[in-house]
Amino acid sequence: MLSDPSRPLYEVKAGLFKGLAHPIRIRILEILSGADEVSVSDLLRDIELEPSHVSQHLAVLRGHRLVVSERRGSLVFYRLAYPQVADLLRVARALLGEILETTHQQLAEQGALPAIPDTSRSIDR
């Protein structure tokens, strides 16, 4: 995975983005971005998924070294492994906003185009 030094950097980056490539994982990272650490029970409450599904997503995020966990008694807490993950999420959100704004402008421009007359003829029988 990330620790294979023979892999080209672009492949390692692609693997990182695969770790991000699920809406639930993005949501988990957004929640973790807003706090120093979050317990699994709080994640479960905020995400409203089956514990096994959240656990699988957390395992993927751990595998891609995006989050770290710490057990304290019967509770497990998660936090971002690197503060740059929050920066990456902010940049992605800003980029998405710009893309959506461009799309909105293009749709508005399309709506302002003159109508194209319907020249098809219906044949009545």
What is the predicted pLDDT for the residue at 108? Answer: 80
* Separation between Cα atoms, residue 67 and residue 35, nearest integer Å: 13
This prediction's pTM: 0.77
> Residue 39: how many CB atoms within 10 A of its CB?
14
Q: Which two tokens stand for residue 100?
A: 């959506």
Residue-wise pLDDT tens digits, 9-44: 898 888 899 989 999 999 999 999 999 999 999 999
Contact 21, 61 (CB under 8 A): no
